């Protein structure tokens, strides 16, 4: 991709002349007549280098330099200065400018400075990206879970990593779709290129197309310059289309084309762009039935469903709850500097029995809360949120036909009462409150169910 250079000078004609010669030299160059407009542009677009005049009314070159260093420290800034203020320019280099050129200058001179600056910043950026990626490559090891269902997921992830096959991740909210998508990318041959995530449900329909495919200057009101879309940014890498079930129909057609031909046209452009991207899509919806009833393009569904991976909800792999909880406990304890080493067996049991409708994200939040609440080095039941006790336990629910309703109700009643007594340390009035019944009614039930109450000395 061409490097993008922004030339800033209050004498806009001078900026335009320089921009024109930079364009001629093969760069994508824009001219801006004042520092504030330049900053706004830098914030919105990918600018690789800025050349600015030093002396400008209102916000001068130095103020612009400082602002850029604050918000985008990696963008090299070259100062243009009058011969008489070279001394100031030297100061500015100390303050973070890449270099300066003094007026009048030859185009060749500035081209050399630009080339040097861009070479350096490319190296810096590549290093940074490699480092980031290296850090995240361990994501694969961070996929916690040893249950048979989860091992099957890991197996599929391992298999699909090294192909370019489109992957469709399905599963309830919080089951780890995004984490798995990253694991696939960072364990594939594409790991040194970008992983670009797009949440299709979070971007307004009117902006999604330009976000994905880019636009040309003037393609619509507000399109003040060309913009590179996410597909292009992911060239050579992976694009993660999250919540694809919420993709508007108009864009579904364009995605289908990218999947078929790896090509698209940016908004307002007639030029077809080619990209080499791996597509990973995710949804918590049932795309198959959406496709069957017309809510989602059927042809797109089949293109996406080449390699489906279904992430099981946590309640269907309860063996993973304890190791996940431990993983989060250690991670959070590390982050907060708290010394928390374990859960009590009761705490583990309570977490294992809970249904976790919000899956792993909910479990993580629960542990996070416990880490804040816990006073000792061990997280106990009392450190867990109360709603964990309120949900029925699907795991212990007998299947229909295997028991009768009356004995199920008795078992349920007994289990609730024992739990409330336990929570209340055997204090009956407190247990009755927890159960939402009168003390008398509790007493009656205790006799009926022959439950012995042992009062505990509170810890």
Q: Tell me if 270 sits within 8 A of 223, measured CB to CB.
A: no
Q: With respect to ligand ATP, which residue has the nearer C-beta, 42 or 197?
A: 197
What's the sign of the alpha-carbon dihedral 136, 141, 145, 149? positive
Minimum distance between the CB of residue 45 and Mg ion, rounded to whole angstroms? 27
**Residue 184 C-alpha from the chain's centroid:** 14
Q: Is 53 helix (H, G, I), strand (E, B) or coil?
A: strand
Q: With respect to ligand ATP, which residue has the nearer C-beta, 88 or 139?
A: 139
367 binds, among Mg ion, ligand ATP, none (CB under 5 to 8 A by kind): none
Minimum distance between the CB of residue 155 and ligand ATP, rounded to whole angstroms? 14
Q: Tell me if 68 sits within 8 A of 90, measured CB to CB.
A: no
Within 10 angstroms of residue 317's Cβ, the number of other Cβ atoms is 20
| Only segment of 21-29, 174-182, 387-395, 439-447 that touches Mg ion (CB under 5 A) | 174-182
Q: With respect to Mg ion, which residue has the nearer C-beta, 114 or 169?
A: 169
Query: What is the pattern of x (binds Mg ion, CB under 5 A) and - over residues 122-161?
Result: ----------------------------------------
Minimum distance between the CB of residue 199 and Mg ion, rounded to whole angstroms? 8
SS3 helix, strand, coil % of the chain, rounded to 5? 50, 15, 35
Tell which phi-psi region holds residue 171, choosing left (phi > 0), alpha (psi between -120 and 50) or beta. left
C-alpha to C-alpha distance for 175 and 89, rounded to whole angstroms: 55
Output the CA–CA distances (angstroms, integers) from residue 127 to 79, 135, 169, 183, 188, in the order listed: 26, 12, 31, 20, 19
214 binds, among Mg ion, ligand ATP, none (CB under 5 to 8 A by kind): none
Q: Which residue is nearest to Mg ion (CB)?
A: 178
Q: With respect to ligand ATP, which residue has the nearer C-beta, 295 or 357?
A: 357
179 binds, among Mg ion, ligand ATP, none (CB under 5 to 8 A by kind): ligand ATP
Q: Tell me if 143 sits within 8 A of 176, measured CB to CB.
A: yes
362 binds, among Mg ion, ligand ATP, none (CB under 5 to 8 A by kind): none
Q: With respect to ligand ATP, which residue has the nearer C-beta, 4 or 284?
A: 284
Q: With respect to Mg ion, which residue has the nearer C-beta, 178 or 413?
A: 178
Q: Is 178 in the site for Mg ion (CB under 5 A)?
A: yes
Q: With respect to Mg ion, which residue has the nearer C-beta, 178 or 368?
A: 178
Number of residues written out for the chain: 459
Minimum distance between the CB of residue 244 and ligand ATP, rounded to whole angstroms? 12
| Only segment of 156-164, 171-179, 348-356, 395-403 that touches Mg ion (CB under 5 A) | 171-179
C-alpha to C-alpha distance for 139 and 136, rounded to whole angstroms: 5
Which residues would be at the binding site for ligand ATP (CB under 6 A)?
142-145, 171, 173-179, 284, 324, 327, 360-361, 364
Nearest Cα to Cα of residue 139 among 174, 167, 180, 173: 180
Torsion angle in degrees (nearest 10) through CA of 9, 11, 13, 17: -40
Placement of tokens 């629960």 in the chain: 366
Minimum distance between the CB of residue 222 and Mg ion, rounded to whole angstroms? 29
Q: With respect to ligand ATP, which residue has the nearer C-beta, 116 or 136?
A: 136
Number of H helices, E strands in the chain: 18, 14
379 binds, among ligand ATP, Mg ion, none (CB under 5 to 8 A by kind): none
* Binding region for Mg ion (CB under 5 A): 178
């Amino acid at each position: 991709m061409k490097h993008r250079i922004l030339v800033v000078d209050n004498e806009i004609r001078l900026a335009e002349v320089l921009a024109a010669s930079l364009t001629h030299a093969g760069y994508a160059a824009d001219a801006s007549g004042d520092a504030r407009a330049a900053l706004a542009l830098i914030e919105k677009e990918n600018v690789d280098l800025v050349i600015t005049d030093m002396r400008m009314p209102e916000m001068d070159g130095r103020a612009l330099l400082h602002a850029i260093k604050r918000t985008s420290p990696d963008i090299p800034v070259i100062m243009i200065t009058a011969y008489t203020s070279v001394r100031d320019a030297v100061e500015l280099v100390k303050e973070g400018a890449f270099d300066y050129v003094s007026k009048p200058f030859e185009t060749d001179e500035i081209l050399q400075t630009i080339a040097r600056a861009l070479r350096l910043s490319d190296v810096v950026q590549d290093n940074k990206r490699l480092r980031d990626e290296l850090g995240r490559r361990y994501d694969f090891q961070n996929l916690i879970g040893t249950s048979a269902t989860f091992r099957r997921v890991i197996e599929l992830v391992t298999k699909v990593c090294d192909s370019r096959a489109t992957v469709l991740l399905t599963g309830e909210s919080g089951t780890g779709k995004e984490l798995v998508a990253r694991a696939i990318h960072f364990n594939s041959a594409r790991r040194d290129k970008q992983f670009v995530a797009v949440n299709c449900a979070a971007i307004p329909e009117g902006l999604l197309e330009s976000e994905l495919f880019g636009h040309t200057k003037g393609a619509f009101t507000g399109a003040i310059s060309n913009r590179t879309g996410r597909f292009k940014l992911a060239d050579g890498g992976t694009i993660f289309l999250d919540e694809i079930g919420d993709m508007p129909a108009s864009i579904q057609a364009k995605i289908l084309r990218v999947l078929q031909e790896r090509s698209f046209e940016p908004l307002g452009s007639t030029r077809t762009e080619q990209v080499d991207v791996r597509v990973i899509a995710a949804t918590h919806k049932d795309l198959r039935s959406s496709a069957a009833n017309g809510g989602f393009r059927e042809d797109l569904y089949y293109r996406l469903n080449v390699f489906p991976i279904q992430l099981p909800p946590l309640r269907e792999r309860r063996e993973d709850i304890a190791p996940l909880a431990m993983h989060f406990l250690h991670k959070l304890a590390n982050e907060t500097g708290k010394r928390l080493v374990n859960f009590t067996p009761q705490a583990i049991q309570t977490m294992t029995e809970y249904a976790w409708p919000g899956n792993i994200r909910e479990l993580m939040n629960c542990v996070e809360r416990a880490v804040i609440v816990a006073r000792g080095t061990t997280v106990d039941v009392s450190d867990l949120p109360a709603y964990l006790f309120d949900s029925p336990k699907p795991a212990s629910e007998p299947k229909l036909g295997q028991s009768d309703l009356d004995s199920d109700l008795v078992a349920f009643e007994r289990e609730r009462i024992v739990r409330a007594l336990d929570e209340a340390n055997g204090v009956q009035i407190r247990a009755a409150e927890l159960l939402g019944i009168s003390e008398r009614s509790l007493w009656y039930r205790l006799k009926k169910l022959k439950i012995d109450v042992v009062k505990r000395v509170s810890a």
